Chains A and B, each alone.
Chain A
């Protein structure tokens, strides 16, 4: 167990729907990062939050949004889902402020049908 908890582990939904992925960071970590991993691609950075505030944005679609709550857990909201959104979504956390890399959760596998 890495200490980063992601729920749900699997999600199957239809096109056009909206889903929420949840991440609880490792205890003491202030930063949360979301990554998307598709079959044909590596890990693509989506967005980072640090202590509740958005810190960096990557290739995140406008249909996607995220937030980090006061208890530091984070949610990634995916709306108007398309078949191409099917992927593994990983959350990672770090203490922030120290470039020691981060710890990943086990991911949420999203399948859009």
Chain B
């Protein structure tokens, strides 16, 4: 069933192309960031993380870029596949010692066959 908002920004990408999902974060004190993927009817799943002392981190088909100057985070997905269709959230820790995360509003990725 529908799990997330109907009014999310949507990125439509052709299968096989690269996807770039962007996120602006708010807390300049945040020192740890995560990208989550949420498929319909499921809870968010961890994709990749990055600490504030890095500006790039690569995983399998995914890369996260961090620009602390403009408080911007991006997720790049290489060779996008139908299974990548989901809502993607960035999350920043609030760095208050509680390990609470603040989530962005999310971007819906649609992969076109």
Bound CA–CA A99/B96 (angstroms): 11
Bound CA–CA A42/B88 (angstroms): 11
Inter-subunit contact A88/B3 (CB<8 Å): yes
Stretch of B14-22, B39-47, B54-62 that contacts chain A: B39-47
B66 to chain A, nearest CB (A): 15
Given the complex, which residues of A lie within 8 Å of B36, measured CB to CB? 104
Asked if A26 is an interface residue, CB under 8 A from chain B, the answer is: no
* Chain A, residue nearest B34 (CB): A101
Q: Which 10 interchain pairs have the tightest Cβ spacing? A: A104-B43, A56-B98, A43-B103, A42-B105, A101-B34, A99-B32, A106-B43, A104-B44, A42-B103, A56-B100
Inter-subunit contact A109/B1 (CB<8 Å): yes
* Chain B, residue nearest A98 (CB): B99
Size bracket, chain A contacts: 20 to 34
Asked if A58 is an interface residue, CB under 8 A from chain B, the answer is: yes
Stretch of A12-20, A32-40, A68-76, A77-85 that contacts chain B: A32-40
Asked if A67 is an interface residue, CB under 8 A from chain B, the answer is: no
Which of B5, B31, B43 meets A39, CB within 8 Å? B5
How many residue pairs at the A-B interface have CB separations less than 8 Å? 74
Bound CA–CA A64/B66 (angstroms): 36
Inter-subunit contact A107/B5 (CB<8 Å): no
Q: Which of B36, B89, B98, B106 has the most CB of A within 10 A?
A: B98
Asked if B73 is an interface residue, CB under 8 A from chain A, the answer is: no
Bound CA–CA A33/B91 (angstroms): 14
Given the complex, which residues of B lie within 8 Å of A33, measured CB to CB? 100
Given the complex, which residues of A lie within 8 Å of B65, measured CB to CB? none
Inter-subunit contact B100/A58 (CB<8 Å): yes
Q: Which of A90, A101, A104 has the most CB of B within 10 A?
A: A101
Asked if B93 is an interface residue, CB under 8 A from chain A, the answer is: yes
- Given the known A-B contacts A40-B7, A42-B5, A107-B3, are A96 and B46 also in contact in the complex, defined by CB atoms under 8 Å? no
What are some 21 contacts across the A-B interface (CB < 8 A)? A2-B45, A4-B43, A39-B5, A39-B6, A40-B5, A40-B6, A41-B105, A42-B5, A42-B103, A42-B104, A42-B105, A43-B44, A48-B98, A56-B98, A58-B100, A99-B93, A101-B34, A101-B49, A101-B91, A105-B43, A106-B41
